[in-house]
Amino acid sequence: MKILEDMILERGIAVNEDILKVDSFVNHQVDPELMKNIGDEFAEHFKGQGITKVATIESSGIAPALMTALALNVPMLILKKQPSKILNQDLYQTVVTSYTKGTSYELTLSKNFISENDHVLIIDDFLANGEAATGAIRLIRKAHATIAGVGILIEKSFQPGYEKLTEQGIDVYSLARIAKLGEGVIEFVKD
């Protein structure tokens, strides 16, 4: 997606080979026009697949997931990183290890908002090792719901996440695929 790639080149900060800061337009400050374009792009790619819900892990995926849900005219689910203090009995739970933060967290989803009749599209901001997306898939499958696919804003193609998900038969659609990342270096995969 050229508009996203251009914004990454213009406003993204490549810290090192693992970290790309996009906080000025994706996760600390959100560019609403970009998010609308992203939501429309994901909706166009996944249209006609019978998607009943869009899901994301809090918090950086919320804006693009919401715009995707709006474009598809379906509800959005937020997978929480901390269990609720009052809803502990009515949750699906799984443990996810964050590559970026080097920590593990318990991912939760309320049983009240998902069923075996749901066909869910997962939206996330980054795909690196695929741990977060795999955890989201695992959680949704606990409800016996099906996975329509995974939409990613920025894929680090030099890391194993894409292969990890596609080997499970998951349709992964990434809007910006980075081939090389280093201090001050951002190179996209050539199509």
Do the beta carbons of residue 51 and residue 84 sit within 8 Å? Answer: no
Mean pLDDT of 94-103: 79
- pLDDT recorded at residue 100: 66
User: Is residue 156 part of an annotated ligand binding site?
Assistant: yes
- pLDDT recorded at residue 90: 86
Percent above pLDDT 70 for the chain = 95
As given in the structure block, the two tokens for residue 155 are: 């894929």
For helices 32-46 and 62-72, angle between their N-to-C axes, nearest 10 degrees = 50
User: Is residue 131 part of an annotated ligand binding site?
Assistant: yes
- pLDDT recorded at residue 191: 75
CA distance 28 to 15: 17
| Neighbour tally for 102: CB within 10 Å | 7
The Cα-based distances of 7 to 80, 153, 176 in angstroms read 28, 12, 10
Closest CA to 121 of 63, 44, 65: 65
Residue pLDDT, tens place only, 117-154 = 999 999 999 999 999 999 999 999 999 999 999 999 99
- pLDDT recorded at residue 48: 96
CA angle 131/16/28 to nearest 5° reads 65
User: Is residue 27 part of an annotated ligand binding site?
Assistant: yes
Mean pLDDT score across all residues of the chain? 94
CA angle 180/42/55 to nearest 5° reads 95
Enumerate domains of the chain plus CATH numbers.
32-177 (3.40.50.2020)
pTM across the whole model: 0.94
Query: What DSSP line would sit under 85-123, residue for residue?
Result: SS-GGGEEEEEEEETTTTEEEEEEEEGGG--TT-EEEEE
| Neighbour tally for 175: CB within 10 Å | 21
User: Is residue 132 part of an annotated ligand binding site?
Assistant: yes
Do the beta carbons of residue 125 and residue 61 sit within 8 Å? Answer: yes
- If one compares 97 and 155, the residue with the highest pLDDT of the two is 155
